[in-house]
Structure 1
Amino acid sequence: MPAADLVEVLIEHWSALEADSPTAPHHLRTSVLPVSCHSGVVLAAVDSEGLRHILVPLAAHQRVGRRTEGVNLKVVETALETTNTFIRYVDVCCADRALNDLFSEVCSDILIAIEAAPGKALTAANAVIARWRSLFDSSQSPLGEARLSGLFAELCTLRDFMLRSPSAALSWTGPAGHCHDFSGGRYAVEVKSTTTTESRTVRIHGLDQLDAPHDGKLNLRWMRLAARSDGTSLGEIVDELLSLTDDPPAFLDKLDRSGFRIADRKRYQHDRFVIVDDRWFEVDTSFPKLSLSNLTAAGIPVAVSDVEYSIEIPDRSHGSLSSGAIEDLIENLVEELAG
């Protein structure tokens, strides 16, 4: 069964269970899912606190040590007993209802893995949990305002791309250490932002950050952001991107590399931004920059590394792109990805 269909099945089961959830502490209300393994059928469950679970039956020789896979993802061994049966399960639970949508994706992956290897259900479930678990834990080092605003600007740009293509997360190359924030074949985009009210100065990291791809074009997007209570939080824009992308695990992995985990949304719920100025530029020969290609073309030997410098973003009268040119740029980047 396709992943999207499994997510719908899971949500239907959990929703029905939530309508009549148990009231006694530590009790579970369960229903049978359309997936089974050699040890029995997999169950959906809801507990007395309204938390969602998935239960994978264990073979007689298998054990699950009590452990925590993350602050919000719990994995324990649970036994269900009736008059005639006693069955032990791997009990996977989401401890934060705000993460239920993400948990649905995890559980659909578990079900797909079990369908592919019904004789190794525990191994299959553990492999999926291992791939997802870090995203359910909070990062150790909170992001500062500069990094928060920078990530917000990148995610706004990614949203513009994803509205044209659900596969556009492929173009988000900055988290992997690429010199450009977004790259799609012959097109690349670098994103800069500031929260200052006057200055348009931005920091450039390296001599290659403003170099265009080979035989291609580089554009720079600059935003002035304002921190305001009526703005958008990172958690909210992440939720929107999760609803747009066709590959949530890949997107969340890049988000994790950027320093923001899905479990961090509460930490940053009061950090909200609005865009008060937004400009796009083609980084051509007239754009202010130091670059490896320009220095090499000028015959200047480059024997230094880790170069950082600042530039002043031009005003709108000096080459900022029109709305039509921006639309063309985004379409071109998305088409490069598709090709």
Structure 2
Amino acid sequence: MTAVVETSSAIFAFLGTQVSAARRLIVRTSDVLTEFGPLAHAIDGSGNPSLLIPVAGHQTCVEDWQNRAVTFGQRTIKSQAGPQEFLVLQCREPRLLGPFCLLVDDILEAASECPQEAPALARDTLERWKELLRDTKPPLLSDAQLVGLLGELTFLDELTFHNGADALRYWLGPRRARHDFVFASASVEVKATVSRESFTVTIHGSKQLEAPPGGTLFIRGYQFESSPVGTSVPQLLYRLVENGLSRYELFELVEKMGYSEADAGHYAERRYTLICERTSLVDESFPRLTQETVASQILDQITGLQYSVDLASQRNDSLDIAALVVELVP
């Protein structure tokens, strides 16, 4: 069997850098040529990688197979040359990109031996790969978890405004860092709430409000309210991608926080409007339970520590986001 010279992973990665804000389809044809045209890699304006297999226009349009992560079916695609029918294999879940690329390579290798049988070979190959493309996903995020994610994405959006696509390097919370955002001389812990009665946020454990060694710690608080005209997490994610953030890296990080793009339709219905934001420097005057404020022999005997702080009762400090990104994370 003829080997694929350049991997689909590399091709999709390259095409991903070409996706524009205009959300147009980016296509790269392969050397596998059928009587209706070449097979092609493609990425749509939302960053979804696809394999395009040209077929006869008179074939019946059917949905061969789909789950919420991968779809395979016939589509009409319009171009300058006019409309054309394709079988489109598409990945809509970044966590499945790895096995999806291997699947595409497998199809291209098989089709290179017998191009005119490409549609049937694609179906047969997909059948073998279905077990690796199971539509498994984490449970849906609770309202509190979703608002927490919205808060972190909101700060990431602010950071992107000042630092562009490099903003993702500072978001270390999903990577199990102590604080959500880590800079050379400061850290920022993001908190969000939908409580209208108070600006109360929840602190987890005795280390969350410990300042980084040799640096300062800020709490960036966001107060949201549910609104049908507000912003949803999927909207904010797409905006971040349009502003230059790596779609794959971004969705990998939000997946670590329990968000699945497969459930974007569900989350799109949950919209929020920002009504207030506050920033507090966590210093000696800020109420907290840490080894600086409570004897270590006591804290060491406490498990599952969780407490709340009303940010509205704390000093509202300024936070120069542009200044935070002057230095890189050490």
Shorter-chain TM-score above 0.5? yes
1:282 matched to 2:278? The reply is: no
Aligned AA (1:92): L
User: What TM-score do you get using the length of structure 1 for normalisation?
Assistant: 0.64
Aligned AA (2:309): I
SS in 2 for 1:292: coil
Which residue of the other structure, out of 66, 69, 73, is the alignment partner of 2:70?
A: 73
* Structure 2 Cα separation of the partners of residues 121 and 306 of structure 1: 56
Alignment of 1:324-335 (within 5 A): 326-327=319-320, 330-335=321-326
Change (3 A) 1:299 1:258: closer
Aligned AA (1:168): A
Contact map agreement 2:206 2:299 (CA 8 A) in 1: no
SS in 2 for 1:279: strand
Alignment deviations for residues 255-313 of structure 1 (CA, whole Å, 9 cap, x no partner): 111121222221122211111111011111111111124435x8867343432222222
Contact map agreement 1:169 1:245 (CA 8 A) in 2: no
Superposition deviation, residue 221 in structure 1? 1.1
Superposition deviation, residue 179 in structure 1? 2.3
1:158 matched to 2:149? The reply is: no
1:203 matched to 2:202? The reply is: yes
Alignment deviations for residues 163-203 of structure 1 (CA, whole Å, 9 cap, x no partner): 22312122222223322122223321111122121123322
Contact map agreement 2:33 2:39 (CA 8 A) in 1: no
SS in 2 for 1:266: helix
Alignment of 1:290-305 (within 5 A): 290-295=289-294, 302-305=300-303
Contact map agreement 1:292 1:302 (CA 8 A) in 2: no
Contact map agreement 2:138 2:260 (CA 8 A) in 1: no
1:321 matched to 2:312? The reply is: no
Contact map agreement 1:295 1:302 (CA 8 A) in 2: no
* Structure 1 Cα separation of the partners of residues 316 and 254 of structure 2: 29
Alignment of 1:73-92 (within 5 A): 73-74=70-71, 92=89
Q: Which runs of 4+ in 1 moved over 6 A?
A: 37-40, 118-122, 298-301
Change (3 A) 1:171 1:38: farther
SS in 1 for 2:164: coil
Q: Which residue of 1 aligns with 2:78?
A: none
Alignment deviations for residues 201-247 of structure 1 (CA, whole Å, 9 cap, x no partner): 32210101001111011100112111011111111111111122442
Q: Which residue of 2 aligns with 1:169?
A: 168
* Structure 2 Cα separation of the partners of residues 301 and 225 of structure 1: 33
Alignment of 1:239-254 (within 5 A): 239-254=238-253
Percent identity over the alignment?
Answer: 26
Contact map agreement 2:183 2:329 (CA 8 A) in 1: no
User: What TM-score do you get using the length of structure 2 for normalisation?
Assistant: 0.65
Gaps of 5+ in 2: 1-10, 43-47, 55-63, 74-85, 113-124
Aligned AA (1:221): R
The CA RMSD over aligned residues, in Å, is 4.3
Aligned AA (1:335): V
Q: How many residues matched?
A: 267
* Structure 2 Cα separation of the partners of residues 224 and 301 of structure 1: 30
* Structure 2 Cα separation of the partners of residues 52 and 331 of structure 1: 34
Gaps of 5+ in 1: 15-32, 46-50, 58-66, 77-88
1:187 matched to 2:186? The reply is: yes
* Structure 2 Cα separation of the partners of residues 138 and 226 of structure 1: 31
* Structure 2 Cα separation of the partners of residues 121 and 337 of structure 1: 47
Q: Which residue of 1 aligns with 2:141?
A: 143
Q: Which residue of 2 aligns with 1:264?
A: 263
* Structure 2 Cα separation of the partners of residues 245 and 5 of structure 1: 9
Change (3 A) 1:4 1:252: closer
SS in 1 for 2:326: helix
* Structure 2 Cα separation of the partners of residues 256 and 203 of structure 1: 22
Q: Which residue of 2 aligns with 1:255?
A: 254
* Structure 1 Cα separation of the partners of residues 30 and 18 of structure 2: 10
